Amino acid sequence: MASRQNANFLKVVGKTFHVIEALAKSQSGVRLSLLARDLKQPKATVFRVLYTLKELGYVKQDPRNETYQLVQEVEWLRRSELRETLKRTARPFLEKLLAQFEQTVCLAMLDRDQLLYIEILEGLRSIRMAATVNTYAPLHSTSLGKAILSCLGPAEVEQALKRRPPARLTPNTITSSRVLMKHLAQVREQGYAIDNEETEEGARCVGGALCNSGGKPFAAISVSGPISHIAGERVSEIAREVKKACRRISELIAFEDSGSRAGNTPTRGSDG
């Protein structure tokens, strides 16, 4: 690229970020030799970059197999990669839901005990909602968040609610942890969640969770609209289609993720 010929371009910084990006694609570590080969850089150069990153606390080395990994605090890189993969994979399913029900369809990721909206397709008959792309929403009141919470263990839910205590957003918002835990048991049983004017008055949402191959939730999708348009049998119909979309997206994400790991992690056959 032309910018790389510019005197202001620091090649060592570029090499460093290439190493970080390569590590971000691996779930269980990469050996120095493979990293150098994939980046087409001398092993000595890549080693110095890894050594520096390790000294700065961004990278760790597994002494058992000498693979390098990003530390937990740099997980934002993996989240960024997952975000783009998720948007690309989910888009056809979101569009299908929009065409079926003509209501707003949302895709959000779990991010530090909150929801981060990453895709919103506006419906033809929807009320104007406060949610916009790149904004956050709570877990306890949204159908997206409740669907995610229902897939977590009780201890994980309790910790999440302690870190972000349920706030009252409307008269219908569940703010009691005890009541919410009971409600989540019902959500878990039916496989979808409903936000019944709990986040915004006049709006009802039906949501389902996306889970990885280990059953851990990482995102969710929902169909939202005026309570007059999402009522009765319509709720059941939307829930059925949301569940189908969630299953298919989760399967595709898991497949793509396993393929990525297979290509980047020769030292192990699985996540270990």
Q: Per residue in 46-67, pLDDT tens?
A: 999 999 988 888 888 888 888 9
Q: Decide if pLDDT at 117 tops 50.
A: yes
Q: What is the mean pLDDT of the chain?
A: 86
What span, in angstroms and rounded, lies between the C-alpha atoms of 127 and 224?
Answer: 9
CATH number for the domain running over 76-258: 3.30.450.40
What span, in angstroms and rounded, lies between the C-alpha atoms of 165 and 177?
Answer: 8
Q: Decide if pLDDT at 213 tops 50.
A: yes
What span, in angstroms and rounded, lies between the C-alpha atoms of 1 and 187?
Answer: 51
Ranking 129-133, 205-209, 237-241 by mean pLDDT, the lowest is: 129-133
Q: Which residue spans of the chain are classified as CATH 3.30.450.40?
A: 76-258
Question: What is the predicted pLDDT for the residue at 33?
Answer: 92
Please state the φ and ψ torsions of residue 69, each to the nearest 5 degrees.
Answer: -140, 155
Q: Which CATH number fits domain 2-71: 1.10.287.70, 1.10.10.10, 3.40.50.1370, 3.30.9.100?
A: 1.10.10.10
pTM: 0.69
SS3 42: coil
Q: Per residue in 68-89, pLDDT tens?
A: 987 755 555 556 677 888 999 9
CB 101 within 8 A of CB 122: no
